[in-house]
């Protein structure tokens, strides 16, 4: 099944095809800083052109599509006082910047004593683009040894045909 997106532009309304893809792991995965999440399951509404390498975790995107990608992070920390950070990286392993549509996930540990003006946990990593990089992966930028991705980790991808 393919969904339709009603897009209004200066040229008038346009209906666009949208494929919805879910990528998950079927089991937990031990991680530490620098590891990439290796997804092993892809489900979709049909009609998508992206591909998943279940050996490397790399997602190959179609350069002629637009993407809205959201990873929902589910992690067990190796230490109860550890912080963690995940981001989308390109095929060379470089973090995709905010300017290029990448928005990382960050959770900072704070002591149990009251603290003002501390950042809230962001449990999603986003990638939103009309000009996608060819290959992306979800990478642990920082994670304590002994941490693991849990089975509820998932990525939802909206692939829009312009």
Between residues 80 and 10, which one has the greater pLDDT? 80
| Structural domains of the chain in order of their starting residue, each with its CATH number | 3-109+120-161 (2.60.120.40)
Report pLDDT for 119. Answer: 46
Q: Is 102 exposed, middle or buried (0-12, 13-18, 19+ CB in 10 A)?
A: buried
Strand partners, 66: 160
pLDDT, tens digit, 9 for 90 and up, residues 44-99:
988 899 999 999 999 999 999 999 999 988 888 887 777 889 999 999 999 999 99
Q: Is 27 helix (H, G, I), strand (E, B) or coil?
A: coil
pLDDT over 50 at 19, yes or no: yes
- Residues whose CB falls within 8 Å of the CB of residue 88, separated by 6 or more in sequence, listed in order: 69, 71, 95, 96, 102, 104, 125, 126, 127, 136, 137, 138, 139
pTM exceeding 0.75 = yes
pLDDT band at 23 (very low <50, low <70, confident <90, very high): very high
Q: How far is CA 1 from CA 18, 60, 61, 87, 138, in A?
A: 9, 21, 19, 30, 27
């Amino acid at each position: 099944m393919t969904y339709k997106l009603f897009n209004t532009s200066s040229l008038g309304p346009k209906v666009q095809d949208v494929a919805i893809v879910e990528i998950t792991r079927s089991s937990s995965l031990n991680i530490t800083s620098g590891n990439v999440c290796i997804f092993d399951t892809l489900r979709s509404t049909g009609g998508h052109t992206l591909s998943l390498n279940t050996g490397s975790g790399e997602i190959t995107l179609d350069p002629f599509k637009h993407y809205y990608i959201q990873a929902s992070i589910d992690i067990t920390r190796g230490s109860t006082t550890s912080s963690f950070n995940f981001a989308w990286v390109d095929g060379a392993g470089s973090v995709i910047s905010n300017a290029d549509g990448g928005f990382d996930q960050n959770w900072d540990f704070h002591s149990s004593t009251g603290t003002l003006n501390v950042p809230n946990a962001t449990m999603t990593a986003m990638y939103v683009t009309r000009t996608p990089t060819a290959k992306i992966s979800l990478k642990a930028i920082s994670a304590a040894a002994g941490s693991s991705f849990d089975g509820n980790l998932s990525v939802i991808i909206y692939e829009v045909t312009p």
